[in-house]
């Protein structure tokens, strides 16, 4: 004679199978395919992050068309400056030269060269009031060649 499994145990077992089964079903459907590709996260997120558009084209892109300016710059103190530091983000312009960079995004000289006690001593700084009473730095200085006189 077979030992009879009590009905309450059968019901518990069925319930357990149901819970584990629904968990496994939900996991099968809801886990993204790239989950655990690199770790406990969605590997696909890395690809999505890379697909974003950029705003700054980088100095190499500027040099493709404006190599004359870059060469001039390379002979003077501002040789390490990025074009887009002063001229503003230019990826739209690099993609399509007809789109011009907004001149209001240009950075002015004083942003870097106004005297401030927190600035390191090696950096050239001026106190505007005592330096020049006029309005334009470019009357005496060439931004692309600071040591030249216009």
120: its two tokens: 């390191």
Complex with other proteins: residue 50 or 136, whichever CB lies closer: 50
Which has the closest alpha carbon to 63: 90, 92, 101, 102?
Answer: 90
Per CB under 8 A, the list member of 44, 64, 102, 148 interacting with other proteins is: 44
Complex with other proteins: residue 3 or 118, whichever CB lies closer: 118
How far apart CA 70 and CA 95 sit, in angstroms, is 19
Q: How many CB atoms lie within 10 A of CB 137?
A: 18
30: its two tokens: 């809801």
Least spacing, CB of residue 22 vs other proteins, in Å: 14
Please tell me the count of residues contacting other proteins according to CB under 8 A: 43
**85 is a site residue for other proteins (CB under 8 A):** yes
DSSP for 54-98 reads PS---HHHHHHH-HHHHHHHHTSGGGG--HHHHH---HHHHH-TT
**59 is a site residue for other proteins (CB under 8 A):** yes
Least spacing, CB of residue 67 vs other proteins, in Å: 18
Per CB under 8 A, the list member of 111, 128, 140, 148 interacting with other proteins is: 111
**103 is a site residue for other proteins (CB under 8 A):** no
Least spacing, CB of residue 15 vs other proteins, in Å: 22
Torsion, Cα of 49, 55, 61, 66 (10° steps): 180
**29 is a site residue for other proteins (CB under 8 A):** yes
**4 is a site residue for other proteins (CB under 8 A):** no
Least spacing, CB of residue 6 vs other proteins, in Å: 26
């Amino acid at each position: 004679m077979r030992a009879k499994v009590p009905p309450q145990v059968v019901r518990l077992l069925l319930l357990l199978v149901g819970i584990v089964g629904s968990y496994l079903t939900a996991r099968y459907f809801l886990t993204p395919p790239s989950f655990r590709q690199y770790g406990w996260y969605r590997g696909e997120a890395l690809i999505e992050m890379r697909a974003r558009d950029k705003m700054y084209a980088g100095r190499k892109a500027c040099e493709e068309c404006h190599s004359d300016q870059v060469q001039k710059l390379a002979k003077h103190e501002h040789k390490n400056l990025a074009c887009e530091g002063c001229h503003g983000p230019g990826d739209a312009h690099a993609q399509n030269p007809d789109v011009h960079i907004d001149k209001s995004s240009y950075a002015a000289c004083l942003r870097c060269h106004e005297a401030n006690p927190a600035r390191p001593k090696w950096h050239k700084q001026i106190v505007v009031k005592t330096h020049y009473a006029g309005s334009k730095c470019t009357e005496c200085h060439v931004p692309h060649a600071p040591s030249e006189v216009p």
